[in-house]
Amino acid sequence: MKNKKILILFLSILLIFIGSCTFEVNIQLPEPSYSFYVYDEANIIDGQVEQYIIDTNKDLYKKTGAQIVVATVLDLRGMDINRFASELFEKWGIGSREYDNGLLILVVPEDREIWIEVGYGLEGALPDSKIGNIINGYIIPYFKESDYSTGILSGFNEIINEVEEEYNIQLARGDINWDIYYIPEDYIEENPFNGLKTIVLLVGIILFLFVDFKFFNGFLTYSLFRGSRFGGSSSTSRGRRSSGGGGRSGGGGARGRW
């Protein structure tokens, strides 16, 4: 009798173990989209916003190796949103392999949940507290009105603002009709040929070129172009598939509900 109970217990444990292993194997994470930067399974992002995110990311990746990916899914395949975002981040390899400077915005409209996962290299510029503020202050208010495109655009721009400050760069953001999306004016990218900062920058470039070609025969300029670290060959060429740079998740991030 005792041996029979032990056998039943052993078989029960074995069945539970096999069932859990089968469950893990059957989980299929989605493959990235052709553009890589926007995966819209839930079909909630306007075409203009999608293209804006893609175009802005191309310049971001070219200059820094960083990637800000937006993904929407219909369900989490039985996983917690934190785990799903982390595993998706790792599978897609968001951000550069050298700096792990990727970020994933994951939206699950059916569950009314959002998670932003941050790579190691961006955790200094975008700690969990700041990500939480972006979600609650710049994204959720629009999501509560079912205006997903504007919410995603608003949050994306706020993240891009922080990344620009971290790397001390100004990105060539994509074209978009701002009259359609109710974003505060400070988000709207100014014409890059306006403003005192741009004038000073242009004067500096002209002086640099003058000195370089007069005294160094253009050697410095040639070296800068030749030694550019992030050529963006896989993600900036038109008509070619974009992909992740091999970055890893840092485990940081924040969740939002509406």
Calculate the dihedral angle through the C-alpha atoms of 179, 182, 184, 188, rounding to the nearest 10 degrees.
Answer: -40
Q: List, for residues 107-117, the tens digit of each pLDDT value.
A: 999 999 999 99
Q: Give the pLDDT confidence score for residue 181 in this predicted structure.
A: 77
Distance CA 38, CA 68 (A): 9
* pLDDT digit string, tens, across residues 203-226: 777 877 777 777 767 666 655 544
Give the E-state strand segments of 20-142 in sequence order: 38-40, 67-72, 102-108, 113-119
For residue 195, report the phi and psi dihedrals to the nearest 5 degrees. 100, 150
Q: What is the three-class DSSP state of 46?
A: coil
The four Cα atoms 145, 148, 151, 154 give a dihedral, to 10 degrees, of -140
144, 134 contact by CB (below 8 A): no
Q: For the chain, which ranges sit under pLDDT 70?
A: 1-27, 182-202, 216, 218-240
Check if the beta carbon of residue 213 is closer than 8 Å to that of residue 221.
Answer: yes
**How confident is the model at residue 221, as a pLDDT?**
64
Spatial distance between the Cα atoms of 85 and 80, rounded to a whole number of angstroms: 9
- The neighbouring-strand residues paired with 39 are 71
pTM reported for the whole predicted model: 0.70
Structure tokens at 21: 């292993």
pLDDT (0 to 100) of residue 228: 41
